[in-house]
Amino acid sequence: MGDQSFNAFELAQKQFDAVAEKLGLDEATREFLRQPMREYYFSIPVKMDDGSTRVFRGSRVQHNDARGPNKGGIRFHPQETDNTVRALSMWMTWKCAVVDIPLGGGKGGVVCDPHHLSQREQENICRGWIRQVWKNLGPLTDVPAPDVMTSSQHMLWMLDEYETLRGEKYPGFITGKPLGMGGSLGRTEATGFGVIYVLREALKTLNLDITKCKASVQGFGNVAQYAIRLFQEYGGTVTCVACWDQADKVAYSYKKEEGIDLEFLLSITNRYGGIDKAKAQAAGYEVLPGNAWIEEEVDILIPAALENQVNAETVGQIKPSVKVLLEAANGPTTLEADAQLKEKNIFVIPDFLTNAGGVTCSYFEQVQCNINFYWSKVEVLHRLEEKMVAAFHAVDQLAKSKEVTMRDAAYMIAIQRVAEACRLRGWV
Ligand code: NAD
């Protein structure tokens, strides 16, 4: 997705290689973990509303299942590439391991643009995706979930197709389902809230008062919206949000120095996380270019949209006021930028720790489906908070004791757990 020349998988492998070296991992384990275990690519023929047939490219990549069934989202995006999906599947393995849930890593997608597809066409893509790959998925093998531009409705169509093919009910087959149809309370909030539980703990260790902190956010979708909500509840101020404008085909940043009004912006935002520019302007928001969010004079930057956003080109635009980069999106920072962030002494909280709340709650959803008993939202969010807080402090303590970055420490914990599972199984 995004810049076609950016290879997310190369980044994921380089990050892995560097930590494997630090850990002194043996050659076989390195070779095994730097590649996905299985990859599926397939064509999905769909009858369009105008009577024509279009063929969409679908994928599912299973990076590693030593610790449990593969787990990961399905993206609908016009610029989806195989390497993005590979990278995301690998990051899922580390993400599940770092929060210590018994799942492996997977990811999938369909190259398509839902903005230009009817509901019926999207349903057929979902059902077609399942028909191509269902034999390789299941509650005990690989459990999909929503991701960029897919929703609980897409998951339910997929579940329905899977159950039709199997002839039995498998509510634990897929997560992110609607409430009342096997979904978990708290799942919608989980990733964004998880991001802020981690931030709250980080600010404590950095001796920063959250009520005095300003943040600028890229993205105004599911993750960003709930992250902003909880950050504001804790007393923080968000001065800028950036999102994609479907009509103009560019991104814009929306700024309000005294702090954005979340409820108002939500009321003028479409279901893809795009803000109505004219209405925002009329309400006094400054409309700036898409990348202006990163130049904000704030304490915290929260990339919560796409990968490759904090890169060699943009990192120089970060103001000296910035103390924390909270990676809510997957893979937002390139290696070059990472090195510069370290020099600038910015505390980077890595993506697969920061945004692990989503998969943690998906795991809770699976648990509830399997026991056929559903928890209250308070219970779900309480368990989520416990997991995120414990994971943050484990990483923070290792980072301090080994004098490494938070990213390296998170990788060290995750890779060691997965490598150990492979070793115990006798795979390496
Ligand atoms: P979403 O589709 O709900 O929202 C994406 C947002 O990004 C939208 O507001 C969109 O307008 C904006 N955007 C797209 N292109 C942009 C651009 N060029 N510049 C600025 N903004 C742009 O997606 P989401 O679920 O909020 O996911 C956001 C990120 O978080 C992704 O990297 C995703 O992989 C990651 N993530 C999501 C979850 C989850 O549970 N939803 C879990 C873990 C990680």
Report the chain's terminal Cα–Cα distance, integer Å: 33
Q: Is 294 in the pocket of ligand 1 (CB under 6 A)?
A: no
CA of 385 to the centre of ligand 1 (A): 22
CA of 29 to the centre of ligand 1 (A): 32
Domain that holds residue 72: 38-94+104-183
- 20 is a domain residue: no
Q: Is 273 in the pocket of ligand 1 (CB under 6 A)?
A: yes
Residue 22 annotated among the catalytic residues of the structure: no
- 204 is a domain residue: yes
- 22 is a domain residue: no
Q: Is 303 in the pocket of ligand 1 (CB under 6 A)?
A: no
Q: Is 300 in the pocket of ligand 1 (CB under 6 A)?
A: no
The one-letter amino acid code at 322 reads V
Atom from ligand 1 closest to the CA of residue 251: 19
- 15 is a domain residue: no
Q: Are residues 172 and 197 part of one domain?
A: no
- Rounded Cα distance between 363 and 101, Å, is 7
Q: Tokens for 267, please give them.
A: 């009321």
Q: Where residue 139 sits, what CATH number does that domain have? A: 3.40.50.10860
Q: Is 147 in the pocket of ligand 1 (CB under 6 A)?
A: yes
What is the per-residue pLDDT for 376?
98
Task: Give the burial string for 109-120 (b: 16+ CB within 10 Å, else e).
Answer: bbbbebeebeee
- 232 is a domain residue: yes
Show which of 135, 151, 183 is a domain's final residue: 183
Atom from ligand 1 closest to the CA of residue 307: 32
Nearest residue to 149 (alpha-carbon basis) of 126, 172, 180, 128: 126
What is the per-residue pLDDT for 148?
85
Q: Is 8 in the pocket of ligand 1 (CB under 6 A)?
A: no
Number of domains in the chain: 2
Nearest CA to ligand 1 atom 21: 243
Position of tokens 């416990």? 386
Nearest CA to ligand 1 atom 30: 329
- 349 is a domain residue: yes
Q: Are residues 140 and 63 part of one domain?
A: yes
pTM of the predicted structure, to 2 decimals: 0.92
Ligand 1 pocket: which of 99, 184, 191 to mutate (most atoms within 8 A of CB): 191
365 to each of 31, 32, 291, 374, 424, how far by Cα in Å?
33, 30, 36, 8, 28
Q: Tokens for 204, please give them.
A: 């404590």
With contact defined as beta carbons under 8 Å apart, do 58 and 108 qualify? yes
Nearest residue to 72 (alpha-carbon basis) of 8, 155, 185: 155
Q: Are residues 216 and 81 part of one domain?
A: no
Measured N-to-C along each axis, helices 357-371 and 377-402 cross at an angle, to the nearest 10 degrees, of 140
What is the per-residue pLDDT for 192?
98
Q: Is 1 in the pocket of ligand 1 (CB under 6 A)?
A: no
**Helices (H) then strands (E): counts for the chain:** 14, 12
Q: Is 332 in the pocket of ligand 1 (CB under 6 A)?
A: no
Q: Is 84 in the pocket of ligand 1 (CB under 6 A)?
A: no
CA of 391 to the centre of ligand 1 (A): 23
- Rounded Cα distance between 409 and 396, Å, is 7
309 to each of 75, 187, 353, how far by Cα in Å?
18, 26, 18
What is the per-residue pLDDT for 5?
67
Q: How crowded is the C-beta side of 269, counted as CA atoms within 13 Å?
A: 21
Q: Tokens for 30, please give them.
A: 């390195």
Q: How many CB atoms lie within 10 A of CB 271?
A: 10
Could you read off the pLDDT tens digit of each residue along the chain, which spans 428 residues?
444 567 889 989 999 999 999 999 999 999 999 999 999 999 999 999 999 999 999 999 999 999 999 999 999 999 999 999 999 999 999 999 999 999 999 999 999 999 999 999 999 999 999 999 999 999 999 999 998 889 999 999 999 999 999 999 999 999 999 999 999 999 989 999 999 999 999 999 999 999 999 999 999 999 999 999 999 999 999 999 999 999 999 999 999 999 999 999 999 999 889 999 999 999 999 999 999 999 999 999 999 998 899 999 999 999 999 999 999 998 899 989 999 999 999 999 999 999 999 999 999 999 999 999 999 999 999 999 999 999 999 999 999 999 999 999 999 999 999 999 999 999 99
- 290 is a domain residue: yes
Show which of 163, 183, 203 is a domain's final residue: 183
Ligand 1 pocket: which of 103, 265, 355 to mutate (most atoms within 8 A of CB): 355
Q: Are residues 298 and 154 part of one domain?
A: no
Position of tokens 């990968």? 307
Q: Where residue 221 sits, what CATH number does that domain have? A: 3.40.50.720
Atom from ligand 1 closest to the CA of residue 245: 11
Q: Which of 71, 107, 177, 256 is flagged as catalytic?
A: 107
